Amino acid sequence: MRKRLELRFIGTNYNGWQVQTNGPQTIQSVMNKALFAIFNQKTNITGCSRTDSGVHALQYFAHVNVPDEIDNYKLALALNAHLPGDVSVLNCEDVADDFHARYSTKSKTYLYKFDVGQAADVFLKGRAFWVKGNVNLQKMQEAAQVFVGKHDFASCCKLKSCPEDSMRTVYSAGINTCENYIEFRISANGFLHNMVRIIGGIVLDVGLGKLTVGDIRSLIKSAEHKNIAQTLPACGLYLEKVDY
């Protein structure tokens, strides 16, 4: 029986989602450990996104084939009892056998948080990127809009990890202000490796006056990898929403 689990996690202490052979702790590895504790046999779980080391998730989905019949509510409770405090199962439901947490997705939304206070907010440490300097929010908004649409995003992918097909469709991208921090939010039908962190860095540099909107248009048009801005650290990145 295939189950779909809705998770939420703080990624600070994990090396992303994907299990790594003899590697550091990942979200998938602690989920597999919890499942083994419940069913007493190896049960691999598949996630909707690999996520980089340190990335958080406000909403994350995974599917798993469980060997025994079990009530969904009880399974969620049992998993949470075996999981560390920074990983939580919010919901569990039955799905069709052909459902795939990754390949059945229609869109994903990522959120990046910028701490723009005069001094770094200690309550945002590890959860946002502190920006040194004043930013122009209007320029950042204009920069974000350039990425909307269907483009070849090879220029916004980590070097040497870009797939042959790097066309993606960005449905929306924009900036919101929330007290002493800024939210950059972007939705698309799929994302390349480091794509959000690279785009976020470009949008930030436009806001800081280091790049122009014209620079972004030239970058996208070239479809070639160029380090024109910093790749933002993972601490401020959240997978916010997954649609099926």
Active site residues: 52
Provide the H-helix boundaries in the chain. Answer: 27-39, 72-82, 137-146, 195-207, 213-222
Instruction: Tell me how far apart the alpha carbons of residues 77 and 5 are, in angstroms, rounded to a whole number.
Output: 12
Q: Which helix (H) or strand (E) holds 72?
A: helix 72-82
Helix axes 27-39, 72-82, angle to 10 degrees: 120
Amino acid in the structure at residue 129: F
Tokens encoding 97: 């056998």
Residue 158 · residue 143 · CB < 8 Å: no
- Residue 54: which region, alpha, beta or left (left: phi > 0; alpha: psi -120 to 50)? left
Residue 115 · residue 180 · CB < 8 Å: yes
Provide the H-helix boundaries in 127-244. Answer: 137-146, 195-207, 213-222
Tokens encoding 181: 């921090």
Phi, psi angle pair for 9, to nearest 5°? -155, 155
